Amino acid sequence: MDWDDLRYFVAVSAAGSLSGAARALKVNPATCGRHVDSLEAHLGARLFDRRKDGYALTVAGEKLLDRARVIETEVFALERGFDAEDRGLEGTVTVTATETLAVSFLVRNLPILRARQPGIRVHAVTEYRSLNLSRREADVAIRLVRPEQGDLIQRRIGELGYGLYASPEYLDLAGRPASAEALVEHQLIGWLDDFPEVPPVIWFRQQQAEARPGLATNQPSARLAAARAGLGITVVPCLSTLGVSGLERVLPDEIIPTVDLWLLVHRDISRLERVRVVLDFINERAKADAALLAGRETG
């Protein structure tokens, strides 16, 4: 039995579709389909029901999935064991974070790390999907939600503050709300439904319940662009507005829930010297940028 076939089988079962598995594995859907077909031919059993709304496991598929997950865990543990052979301060460290944290926090600080450790190359992956550290989809994660996943070392490194923003032109035309309750009289630019349910998102959706329909998108940069274009008021991490012109903060004294920031690494990978250096660096810069991250300063 080909391990690659099992790997694709597990990905399709998790995503519920070839396209979803392809995105996770960074291949095309046809490749996922070929591996699933190969595994079914090898076992002489149908593992998925092909439906219009996706792939659903058959009884045989559910039976195989339990075994495949055990094998997958062992394979990734073996890979991490070899990866954790320390090669010093040379090599790549992959860090996953949201767009705002990657661009306005991590990348902005990377010149400091490069000056100290020129042999370390950082790969910054911007995804809201929680990349699996056990599967080495990333080495280090900065997350907005404390996970319950796997054998991870977790460290709270600060909090991310949010604010309401709109263009001066929109506010001149529609008026400036005097309170959060007055937001219902405005066009609001919100999140798509697949955005993580973190406290500021929940808070803003409560304000949107009675508001006039507006734009919804899942990237802070798109919400900021919409606000700058005069499409309404949005709430974004204050950090994402650094260096962005054409915006005015609305209700700056309004208390909007913050989000804890968590720095994560798999215990096996934490032994790598270059990973330890990156972890310590991120923690150090989070403390230095604490007021910016929390939205108490605007840079």
Could you write out the DSSP letters of every residue in 171-237?
Answer: HHHH---SSGGGGGGSBEEB--TTS---HHHHHHHHHHTTSBP--B-S-HHHHHHHHHTTS-EEEEE
Beta strands 140-143 and 162-166 are unpaired
More confident residue, 25 or 212: 25
Q: Is the pLDDT of residue 8 over 90?
A: no
Min mean pLDDT across 87-101, 129-143, 167-181 is at 129-143
- Report the share of the chain in percent with pLDDT over 90: 49
pLDDT band at 4; cut points 50, 70, 90: confident
Q: What is the predicted pLDDT for the residue at 133?
A: 57
**Average pLDDT along the chain:** 86
Return the closest-CA partner of residue 113 out of 276, 292, 263, 268: 276
